[in-house]
Amino acid sequence: MKKHLVNKFDKKALPSLPRVLYEGRIVVVITEEVAETAVDFLLSHNILGIDTETRPCFTKGRQNKVALLQVSTHNDCFLFRLNQLSDSPAVKRLLEDRKVLKVGLSLHDDINSLSKRFTFKPGFFLDLQNIMKELGIEDLSLAKLYANLFGMKISKREQLSNWEADVLSEKQKRYAATDAWACINLYEEYLRLKETHDYELEIVSPPAQTTDNPGIADGQTSENMPKTSEE
């Protein structure tokens, strides 16, 4: 039986799905010595999953610098605490590497955030959002992609936690590792589906408008509609 995919995944279906969680080894990196060893290990692999975390800021117009870079293999994930590592030559070497493929989502945003901590020339990166469109998928967030391709949910509860805390909680570490590790799974499943064509895509119709007036979009009223020349 072919895998069933949809172009748009209904977020209401997410809570009922079984949860997926990275269960491999996690190493928190806070010194340059450990960073060098970690980068050597990571660059000995042929694919890496990558993501970043930033402490949320609730003040308008302000944004904190990226605090965490998580880089995963199939079985090992390294959490580079950038707020403690400062300008790490090892991390810069990892980011500039052009031999090992690094996959992630919304990588433009990640690279932009990282460039505010490091001066580097991005190496071999691939944004999953660009290639998943080839399968006809339109909902490209990590949670919806994983649910669509694997029928499992990735919890986002820790996303707005304090990523600059002195010590990361176990939940934070598992959350961060899961996001990076999941990118590898998504990429490898994409390759399998592209090669085998072992999937069928259902085009989901957009939800019906909830207003009585079809000319007024959801959330608008006749009072805030743009004026026409007849009014």
Q: pLDDT for 24-35, tens place per residue?
A: 999 999 999 999
pLDDT of residue 79: 98
Mean pLDDT (the chain, rounded): 91
pLDDT band (50, 70, 90) for residue 49: very high
- pLDDT greater than 70 at residue 165: yes
- Written as six digits, the tokens of 37 are 């060893």
Residue 190, domain member (yes or no): yes
d(C-alpha 26, C-alpha 70), whole Å: 10
- pLDDT greater than 80 at residue 111: yes
Strand order in the sheet with 125-127: 25-29, 76-81, 66-72, 47-54, 101-104, 125-127
Domain range spanning residue 61? 3-202
Tell me the residue type at 182: A
Residue 40, domain member (yes or no): yes
Give the mean pLDDT of 211-220. Answer: 48
User: Residues 163, 28: contact at Cβ < 8 Å?
Assistant: no
Global confidence as pTM: 0.88
User: Residues 20, 41: contact at Cβ < 8 Å?
Assistant: no
Residue 214, domain member (yes or no): no
User: Residues 31, 25: contact at Cβ < 8 Å?
Assistant: no
Strands 3-6 and 199-202 come out as parallel
Q: Which residue has the higher pLDDT, 63 or 176?
A: 176
- pLDDT greater than 90 at residue 215: no
d(C-alpha 91, C-alpha 74), whole Å: 20
Residue 224, domain member (yes or no): no
d(C-alpha 182, C-alpha 172), whole Å: 15
Torsion of CA 154, 160, 165, 170, to 10 degrees: -20
Buried b or exposed e, range 34-62, using 16+ CB within 10 angstroms = bbbebbeebeebebbbbbbbbbeeeeeee
Give the mean pLDDT of 7-29. Answer: 97
* CATH number for position 131: 3.30.420.10
Structurally, the chain folds into a number of domains equal to 1
Residue 150, domain member (yes or no): yes
Residue 8, domain member (yes or no): yes
* pLDDT digits 0-9 by tens, 114-164: 999 999 999 999 999 999 999 999 999 999 999 999 999 999 889 889 999
